[in-house]
Structure 1
Amino acid sequence: MEKPIFIIPVILLVAVILFVNVVFLHPAKENKTATPAKTEKTASTFDPVAFYKQTCIGCHGDQYQGVVGPTLKNLSSKYKQADVENILKNGKGGVMPAGLVKDEDIPAMAKWVLSLK
């Protein structure tokens, strides 16, 4: 009967050590390696198409036709680059949220949106 009583605390101790190792030690190592890659990203590596597919497609549609949000086709006849940049930064009409695109990526995103036909 003494063996099970001795084994339970040992198993619990091993479980706690593994938990601390996995939760507190490994993510810190991963974050240290991920940080330099984020700081190296420049506006030239921003991919407006990939960003659109990940963030905007739900409101503006898979063919830019508009769903909840308006169509993005032929916006160049209606808006200038600065107008689109302002909308991307500040939102519009309570429907288009502000701040979806990082400030450094706004010019590239605006240029791409204006190129849609």
Structure 2
Amino acid sequence: MKRNPVIPYAIIALIGILLVIGVSFIGLDQRDTLQNEEEGGAEQQDDAQEGETADDPEAIYESNCASCHGGDLSGGGGPALTEVGSNRSKDEIQDIIINGTDGGMPAGMATNEEAEVLADWLSEMK
């Protein structure tokens, strides 16, 4: 009796196809789980950051301003803020933080409360 040599290859191919399908479903489920965790985690992180930084000017600055104005207020993409209190009043600084400028500062970089805390802190930089 002669055996058909194609049958073992067909069985191996069928097992391979089933494994690929199974792994794909597992991967899709993991992707959905990760996306849900990221979305939920981002909301929780935003809530935690708002609560933590709402009255800490250095934390607000670090999360909203440091990327352009430098971690030490020395400037970078934006102007240096080391002596901004000598040139502008607290109200002017707060207005710029909230409304931005035509020269490149985008509007809405902080909430009104954060802008007030930042403006108070930056106005002391002289």
TM-score (norm: length of structure 1) = 0.71
Q: Whose Rg is larger?
A: 2
Give the match for residue 30 of structure 2.
Answer: 22
Give the match for residue 116 of structure 2.
Answer: 107
Q: State which drifts further: 43-52 or 80-89.
A: 43-52
- Percent identity between the two aligned chains: 25
User: Which secondary structure does the structure 1 equivalent of 2:110 belong to?
Assistant: coil
User: Which secondary structure does the structure 1 equivalent of 2:65 belong to?
Assistant: helix
Give unpaired runs (5+ residues) of structure 1: none
Give unpaired runs (5+ residues) of structure 2: 1-8
Q: Is the 8 A contact 1:90 1:97 kept in 2?
A: yes
1:35 corresponds to which of 40, 43, 67: 43
Measured in 2, the distance between the counterparts of 1:30 and 1:58 equals: 23
1:100 Cα offset (Å): 2.0
Q: State which drifts further: 73-82 or 25-34.
A: 25-34
Amino acid at match of 2:120: K
Q: Is the 8 A contact 1:43 1:105 kept in 2?
A: no
| CA separation of 1:30 and 1:70: change in aligned 2, threshold 3 A | closer
Measured in 2, the distance between the counterparts of 1:104 and 1:28 equals: 30
1:42 Cα offset (Å): 4.4
